[in-house]
Amino acid sequence: MGKKAATTKSSVPAQKTDPLYPVKIRSKTIGTDLRTKTDLGRYVKWPKYIRIQRQRKILTQRLKVPPSIEQFNNKLDKSQATELFKLLAAYQPETKADKQSRLKALAEKKAAGGKTETSKPGPVVKFGLHHVTTLIEEKKAKLVIIACDVNPLELVLWMPALCRKMDVPYCIVNNKGRLGSLVHQKSASCVALTAVGKEHEAKLAQLTEVCRAQFNDNKSALKKWGGGIMGPRTQDKLAKRAAVIAAEQAKKAKVLV
């Protein structure tokens, strides 16, 4: 019986496989019954705030963006921003714990009968939308730093125009969270420098010149519209249409010649 079964098995011809359509044996074990090599992101229902972020990004690409909003895409480059934040880090305001310890040490020294110094505190970074606005209007701000990702943007939309009117140098940087970490807050829409020490006056003057050239005196950026970028399908359609029009014009030119 065993010999007969062996002969019947060997007599069956082997099934030919098509190289264009290879047979994929599917595993039925736990965790491997789904095709994980394909991208399943389109099956995921993302949270609402992520969908709103993506829709907002696509809308800002498709719609024409006026220059007053498009100017916030003109930001300091990485090297200049690094130098700026190094300067700002040297003038961070003191935290609540530092202030309490300083006042406590001052009170203990006064109770012991020692002389207390009543010198004015050094310059620090000023923050707060109303405070910075007042400093700009009074022309006390030496340099204003505005975040580009403020939401809603209307909070700081008018600030570049105010800085240009009051002849105060300003710049736009990349991250409101980075500005907030300078002043011990979660985020900050804008900060300002009113004074620096003698050792940093040259650095501040250099940064001020760069900011004036890129932002205050850059009139071309104030006329530049943004957006208007269509999707890939529309771009392909427009490219094909332009190619057809160019071919027709070339035929007409040959006929005229």
Long-range contacts of 202-210 (CB under 8 A, 24+ apart): 203/83, 203/87, 204/87, 204/142, 204/143, 207/80, 207/83, 207/84, 207/87, 207/143, 207/171, 208/142, 208/143, 208/169, 210/80, 210/171
Query: What's the pLDDT at 206?
Result: 94
Of 13-22, 51-60, 63-72, 125-134, the least confident: 13-22
* Band of pLDDT at residue 182, cut at 50, 70 and 90: very high
- Higher pLDDT pick, 16 / 74: 74
Query: What's the pLDDT at 96?
Result: 84
- Higher pLDDT pick, 14 / 22: 22
Q: Where are the domains of the chain?
A: 67-94+121-221
The pLDDT tens digits of the residues spanning 25-61 come to 776 776 666 555 666 666 778 899 999 989 988 988 8
Separation in Å, CA 77 to CA 151, 152, 180: 22, 23, 19
Query: What's the pLDDT at 19?
Result: 73
Query: What's the pLDDT at 1?
Result: 47
The mean per-residue pLDDT over the stretch 156-164 comes to 94
- Higher pLDDT pick, 19 / 231: 231
Query: What's the pLDDT at 106?
Result: 82
- Say whether pLDDT at 152 is over 50: yes
Q: Using a pLDDT cut of 70, give the percent of the chain over it.
A: 84
Assessment of whether the complete model's pTM goes beyond 0.75:
no
The pLDDT tens digits of the residues spanning 78-125 come to 999 999 999 999 999 888 888 888 888 888 888 887 776 665 678 899
The pLDDT tens digits of the residues spanning 193-212 come to 999 999 999 999 999 999 99
Residue range 67-94+121-221 forms a domain whose CATH class is: alpha beta
Of 24-38, 109-123, 173-187, 235-249, the least confident: 24-38
Sort residue 47 into left (φ over 0), alpha (ψ -120 to 50) or beta.
beta
